[in-house]
Amino acid sequence: MAVQTVATPSTPADTSSEGSTGSTGSTGTAPSAGTDAAVDLGPASGLTCRECGTLFPLGPIFACAECFGPLEVAYDLPEGDPEALRRTIESGPANIWRYAPLLPVPADVADKPNLNPGWTKLVQADNLARELGVEQGKLFVKDDSGNPTHSFKDRVVAQALEAARAFGFTTLSCSSTGNLAGAVGAAAARAGFRSCVFIPHDLEQGKVVMAAVYGGDLVGIEGTYDDVNRFCSELIGDPLGEGWGFVNVNLRPYYGEGSKTLAYEICEQLGWQLPDQLVVPIASGSQLTKIDKGLKELIKLGLVEDKPYKIFGAQATGCSPVAAAYKAGHDVVRPQKPDTIAKSLAIGNPADGPYVLDIARRTGGAVEDVDDAQIVDAIKLLARTEGIFAETAGGVTVGVTRKLIEAGLLDPSLTTVVLNTGDGLKTLDAVAPTSQATTTIRPSLDAFRAAGLAG
């Protein structure tokens, strides 16, 4: 099958992101996997185009055949008494499957072998609040480093895995900035799939080892993430990729839905309340757009009160195409060549950039960025105030939160949730130079006394 060239109006020349709309690849109809009517993905009723609204049957496709816009999952969501739905959710398992009635998964999903991610801690961060000048009791960190492979990616992979099962794929794959490769490797191992994942060859050691240890094939590509993604788009359109489910490309509509569970959990953990403000990292922008989708669903279902909320996007200055567009007042995102320690967010041409801009503007949020030194400072600030060791992406959100408060854009008197999406153990290099033994002594009390550490 020849590789078709398609273009999405809203994301011209997009070849980037952990989850691209795949403009240089095919529209994603896998050669072998069918779209048969018996596909059971629970309340998912089809795929709908974000640009033109055309409806498609559930299948491993990701771009609209009419206008090449990105597809997203449409639902027949549960109707009726919100109290009954709330009780069903609350009596569900302590993982994302408590929200199975709102996700593109079969009702018996919890019985299938998967990593059962989610239900991570929402930490009331009073010490950090004090440092940032936020009112006590109003600042929370949603700590997704507690997921099985220590990043939020387990949430999205779990959805893609169900879609892969439904469509009969036998190999799980992805283009990754690091965390996704590990999440796919682990999920595939547990579910009995083959995995073959692609990463830029120069990632952090923690990410590489984490991706390799689960025993699947791990391919380092000599190039940037954008090159990796372009390669994967080509592979999907080629017989070489037959039977492969790329979680963030041809399974991307399903994958994206996993980020809704962050919105659900945050609201449930706040006692079924919307936060007033959220600070969310942006790589491809998928997570931010789906958090918005999840919040809107909760309002529609009557599970939370309908009131305004603001979503703020966070990027590293060394890869800040969305923040730059936001500040310039543009609707289109100009691609950048990433150069930042926040490698998990280093996507120069984010597929969902235009939608992120729309959400930030529509909700009254903003998109801001912090440089590498501020990222390191913020990692250490979160660690010393709350005992949470975030990866660089968490440094980005905490650093941006501080900057937004200083700029008067984020209201310190309102309930604010800051996302930490990954684990600091995977990005040790960022803080290693400034995080070493404070002193080294001989094993004697005299030496200890002389070091002045007593008392």
Ligand X SMILES: *Cc1c(COP(=O)(O)O)cnc(C)c1O
SS3 420: strand
SS3 278: strand
Burial class (CB in 10 A: 0-12, 13-18, 19+), 2: exposed
Residue 19 binds which entry of Zn ion, ligand X, none, CB below 5-8 Å type-dependent: ligand X
Q: How many CB atoms lie within 10 A of CB 46?
A: 16
Residue 66 binds which entry of Zn ion, ligand X, none, CB below 5-8 Å type-dependent: Zn ion
Torsion over CA of 288, 103, 47 and 164, rounded to 10 degrees? 100
Q: Among 36, 40, 66, 108, which residue interacts with Zn ion (rule: CB under 5 A)?
A: 66
Instruction: Tell me which residues in 279-318 interact with ligand X (CB under 6 A).
Output: 281-287
Q: Among 30, 44, 47, 49, which residue interacts with Zn ion (rule: CB under 5 A)?
A: 49
Q: Is 354 in the site for ligand X (CB under 6 A)?
A: no
Q: Among 69, 258, 275, 353, which residue interacts with Zn ion (rule: CB under 5 A)?
A: 69
The site map against ligand X for 371-410 (x = CB under 6 A) is: --------------------x-x-----------------
Q: Is 258 in the site for ligand X (CB under 6 A)?
A: no
Q: Is 51 in the site for Zn ion (CB under 5 A)?
A: yes
Residue 20 binds which entry of Zn ion, ligand X, none, CB below 5-8 Å type-dependent: none
Q: Is 252 in the site for ligand X (CB under 6 A)?
A: no
Residue 275 binds which entry of ligand X, Zn ion, none, CB below 5-8 Å type-dependent: none
Instruction: CB nearer to ligand X: give 109 or 174.
Output: 174
Report the distance separating Cα 232 and Cα 229, nearest Å.
Answer: 5
Residue 153 binds which entry of ligand X, Zn ion, none, CB below 5-8 Å type-dependent: ligand X
Helices and strands, number each (H, E), in the chain: 15, 13
Residue 389 half-sphere exposure toward CB, CA atoms < 13 A = 11
Between CA 270 and CA 278, with CA 274 as vertex, the angle to 5 degrees is: 95
76 neighbors 70 (Cβ within 8 angstroms):
no
Q: Which residues contact 175 (CB under 8 A, 6 or more apart)?
A: 18, 20, 198, 199, 225, 228, 229, 231, 232, 246, 248, 249
Residue 287 binds which entry of ligand X, Zn ion, none, CB below 5-8 Å type-dependent: ligand X
Judged by the rule CB under 6 A, the positions of this chain that interact with ligand X are: 17-19, 151-153, 179, 281-287, 344-345, 391, 393, 421-422
Where do contacts with Zn ion occur on this chain (CB under 5 A)? Answer: 49, 51-52, 54, 64, 66-67, 69
